[in-house]
Every structure is written in structure tokens, then in C-alpha cells.
Amino acid sequence: MTPNWDDLRVFLAVARDESLSAAGRVLKIDPATVGRRIARLEAALDAVLFTKSQQGYVLTTAGQRLMEHGLQAEEAMRAATGVMSGSTKSLSGQIRIGAPDGCANYLLPQVCAKISEANPDLDIQILALPRIINLSRREADMAVTVSAPTAGKLLVQKITDYRLHMVATLEYLSRCPDIRSVEDLRGHRMIGYIPDMIFDRELDYLNEIGVERVALASNSVSVQLRQVSLGTGVCVAHDFTLPFHYGLQKILTDQVSLTRRFYLVRHQGDQRNERLNRFAEALTRGIRDEVARLESEATA
């Protein structure tokens, strides 16, 4: 018996999420049905595709081989769908974007809202994770990153540069020792990323500045900014976040001024998908414009 595409789609969902229940939520079917579909696929192929472990459903060697072919089939289906729907005026279906915390919280909500207004039949999902999005496992259709990947079959496009500066509240600066140089930071409470959870060297701002100790740490940009907004210390902040946190003052701007950049990363197999191409163009343009708008407000 030859496996059908629908069973293969269920297989890919379980392989990605390593759980029947998680795959069921994505596919909007109950876990028992997911299990039956996997059993049917294994019977059709006469092969065991998963082993059950404490971590969940793990691919066997046969499952890994099928995963490679399944991803190719999925890309072909996505390309066909893109050809059929890409030429229509309005985009439809579902598109998921992976992004680091800062971009996901402070840029994508506005950008995606505008795209959604222009495409009412389009469902946009923002996946905010403090790690690199795994596009090879189709965690997302595309991802915004802070460095350009060099491995894998990927399309990489620079979106825009963005700037970061050190900030603190005026209240904190008024009651604590003066900060006139980077050396003065030694006497202040520093807020930043959890050092051993920095997933990209481009995010290791404090180490670049020469700060060795992080007294208050989080893997979330939003948490860091909340902490500094309470007047508890000093942190490095994206300029585009400052309009959302009134009362923060840039400091040491003549000594500490960092520039980073966002990239849009996509599956190489999607380069002929007109639907995703149109969305990527709108997303890139929207992020570029939003960074420029917010940074101009931050300097006003």
C-alpha cells in the first residue's frame, strides 16, 4: 500500500513536535487519530518510524530517511499552492514567522497588523523564541535572525541595520554614582542576557563592552527592559524599543553605540513560491520602515 500525502503530513507534524498531542493541536485533530495515522503509515511502509522515549517521539533511522523525502514532498506542495494562489490580489492561508524576542515584541506586531489588514484571509503566526529557529524542521516558514546563517539550503536577505545604546532611568541616574565612562559601569547593577543562554554571539553586548558581571539577567529583551524601567540598573537596549519605554535615558552615547542587523532567512525550496515571495517582500519592507520610524522617535 502506498502512503498518501495526508498521512505524510501527520508524520511530519509528529516528527517536528515529537508529541502526538502537540501534532494534533497543529493539525486540529485529536491525538488518538494522530496515533492511528502514524500506525497506518508504518504499516504501509512496513517500517517503525518512531521510538517512544522520555523526551517524546523520536525518529528511527527509517523515520529520518522518510523525513528527508517528506520535506521534499512538502516543499513541492507548498510551491504548487504558491503558484495557484500567489497571483491573486490578496494573500491567504497561514504563514508563520520565527523571530528573536526583541523583533517579535517590538516590530512584528505592527508590521504584521498592517499586512493582515491588507490581506484579510491571511493568518499570520509570530513564533518568538530565545534561540535559533529550526527552519529545516519547518518550525516556521521564514525567520528573522541577527546573523546570516552559512550552513543549509537557505535564502538569506539582509533587512536592515539597527542601533543599540546603554540606558537607565533618570531616577536611577540621579541617585547613583555618575556614569562618565565605561569603567564607571563597574559600580552599577548591570542588566542583560543570561550568559550561558546567549544563542548568537551578536547578542553578547555586555561582553563586547567589557562588562563581566550581569547582576539581573533574563533571556528576554522585554524582561530586561522591564527591569531597567523599574530603576534597578543599566542595560543595553535597542533604540527601536525606547518609544515603548518612556523615561529611559541613553547614556555613554559617545562611547557605546552598537550596530546590528536583521536578516530574513527562508527555505531555498520556497524561492519560486510567489505567495511567500510577496509576503517576504511586505515583511522586509515593513520591518525596515518600522525600525526607521521608531529609531527616529527615540532620537527626537
DSSP letters for 109-165: HHHHHHHHHH-TEEEEEEEE-SS---GGGTS-SEEEESS---SSSEEEEEEEEEEEE
With bands split at pLDDT 50, 70 and 90, how would you rate the model's confidence at 133? confident
Report pLDDT for 44: 87
Asked if residue 274 and residue 230 are part of one domain, the reply reads: no
Alpha-carbon gap, residue 61 to 182, rounded angstroms: 53
107 and 195 in a single domain? The answer is no
Number of domain units in the chain: 3
**Of 64, 83, 102, which marks where a domain is finished?**
83
Please state, in angstroms and rounded to a whole number, the distance separating the CA atoms of residues 243 and 63.
49
Stretch 92-101: mean pLDDT = 92
List CB contacts of 42: < 8 A, sequence separation 6 or more.
48, 49
pLDDT of residue 149: 87
- The whole domain housing 30 covers 5-83
Question: Do 47 and 65 fall into the same domain?
Answer: yes
Left if phi > 0, otherwise alpha if psi is -120 to 50, otherwise beta: which for 256?
Answer: beta
Q: What's CA 27's distance to the chain center, in Å?
A: 21
Please tell me the predicted confidence (pLDDT) of residue 188: 94
Per mean pLDDT, which range of 24-38, 81-95, 202-216 is the poorest?
81-95
Shared domain for 120 and 138, answered yes or no, is yes
**Domain identity same for 206 and 242:** yes
CATH number of the CATH domain containing 35: 1.10.10.10
Among 33, 65, 83, give the residue marking a domain's end: 83
pLDDT at residue number 254: 94
Q: Are 133 and 269 contained in the same domain? A: yes
Give the burial string for 112-129 (b: 16+ CB within 10 Å, else e).
Answer: beebeeebeebebebebb
Instruction: Assess whether pLDDT exceeds 90 at residue 136.
Output: no
Better-predicted residue by pLDDT, 138 or 167: 167
**Same domain flag for 152 and 238:** no
Task: State the average pLDDT over residues 230-259.
Answer: 95
Query: Is the model's pLDDT at 236 over the cut of 90?
Result: yes
Length reported for the chain: 300
In the structure, what pLDDT confidence band is assigned to residue 86 with cuts at 50, 70 and 90?
A: very low
**Backbone region of residue 252 per phi and psi (left: phi > 0; alpha: psi in -120 to 50; beta: other values):** left
**Would you report the helix, strand and coil content of the chain in percent, each value rounded to 5?**
50, 25, 30
Of residues 6 and 78, the one with the higher pLDDT is 6
- Among the candidates 48, 83, 118, a domain finishes at 83
If asked whether residues 192 and 274 sit together in one domain, one would say: no
Arithmetic mean of pLDDT over the chain? 88
Using the predicted structure, report yes or no on whether residue 265 has a pLDDT greater than 50.
yes
Whether residue 75 sits in one domain with residue 102: no
Is pLDDT at 227 greater than 60 in this prediction? yes
Domain of 138: which CATH number? 3.40.190.10
**Together in a domain, 267 and 138:** yes
Pick the range with the lowest mean pLDDT from 48-52, 124-128, 151-155, 187-191: 151-155
Residues 280-300 have pLDDT tens digits of 999 999 999 999 999 999 875
Query: Would you place residue 259 in the very low, low, confident or very high pLDDT band (cuts 50, 70, 90)?
Result: very high
* Position with higher pLDDT, 27 vs 160: 160
State how far the alpha carbon of 208 is from the alpha carbons of 41, 162, 200, 211, in Å: 51, 17, 13, 8
Q: Are 282 and 165 in contact (CB under 8 A)?
A: no
- pLDDT above 80: residue 81: no
Q: Supply φ then ψ for residue 72, to 5 degrees.
A: -65, -45
Q: What percent of the chain has pLDDT over 90?
A: 56
- 137 with 277, same domain: the answer is yes
Residue 153 has pLDDT above 90, yes or no: no
Which amino acid would we find at residue 136?
Answer: S
Higher pLDDT, 7 or 132: 7
